[in-house]
Amino acid sequence: MSAEPQTVLAIYLYGFTLPELIPPTVLGIDNTHSISVHCCANLNAIISTTALADFTGDLGETNLQNVAWLTPRAYRHAQVIDQCMEQGAVYPLSFGTLFSNIDALEQEMHRRAADVLAVLKHITGCQEWALEATLDRKQAVDTLLADGLSSGRFSLPDSVGRRHLEEQKLRRRLTADLNDWLVECLTTLQAELQPFTRDFRARRLVDDKIVNWAYLLPVEQAEGFRQQVDDISHRYEVYGFNFRITGPWAAYSFCQLATLS
């Protein structure tokens, strides 16, 4: 009887840290192999081993489209990053970053060391927080109209018929100008939040979002930032804004300068 073919293992890379990190105690993404660190070029690579076939070829393509397979492994990937963050700055990499062997990993570490070290220095002592917002545009127009009438900037005739026509005219004007008003609002909000932050990224807008911002916050500024967002949310709620803040996260949005090829 012939022996079963040996499983080919690959190196799975979670991210980089500065030296002297203690490996997390959790198992790797396959829930079988332990986490270790490999030091090279003044960096620690956080790694484990996993079956190469799980991520490549027809099986790999099927796995990566299978939510039941993908979800627990993505969770374990995030868990490793989170445990590393408890010790210091982490340059996190996206799910599924593989190397065929240690030599290939070291070659990439030497090539990217200067950039990755610069980013690690930049994010040290910080966390990423996300701020998202949506806007009910009809409510915004309603409130802007009410503001204009109460302040005397707008006025409506006494005649019911003329009053209705003039009100519709004002609504059309406010609707047409709403994007400019929104830009002014967001510029003001950004100025209010900037003192708490070390860095900022505007991320791609999806669904009905008008804000999808990532902030790099020094740990000691996080509470003040959350309080400021809460104040902003209360002030702008009447205009139909709905703000949502999440975090802390690994600094994915700020670790793109040396993205692995």
Question: Which secondary structure element, helix H or strand E, spans residue 146, and what is its range?
Answer: helix 137-151
Residue owning tokens 């190469």: 52
pLDDT digits (tens, 9 = 90+) for 31-63: 999 999 999 999 999 999 999 999 999 999 999
3-state secondary structure 93-120: CCCCCEECCHHHHHHHHHHHHHHHHHHH
- Return the CATH number of 127-136+177-254, one of 3.30.465.10, 3.30.450.20, 3.40.50.720, 3.30.70.600: 3.30.70.600
Per-residue confidence (pLDDT) for residue 5, from 0 to 100: 57
Q: Which residue has better confidence, 252 or 155? A: 252
CB distance 44 to 17 below 8 Å:
yes
Residue closest to 137 by CA, chosen among 239, 209, 206: 239
Tell me the C-alpha distance between 45 and 47, whole Å.
Answer: 6
> What pairs with residue 37 in β-bridges?
46
- Domain ranges in the chain are 9-124, 127-136+177-254
Please state, as a whole number, how many other Cβ atoms lie within 10 Å of the Cβ of residue 17.
23
Q: How far is CA 200 from the centre of its chain?
A: 11
- pTM score of the predicted model: 0.85
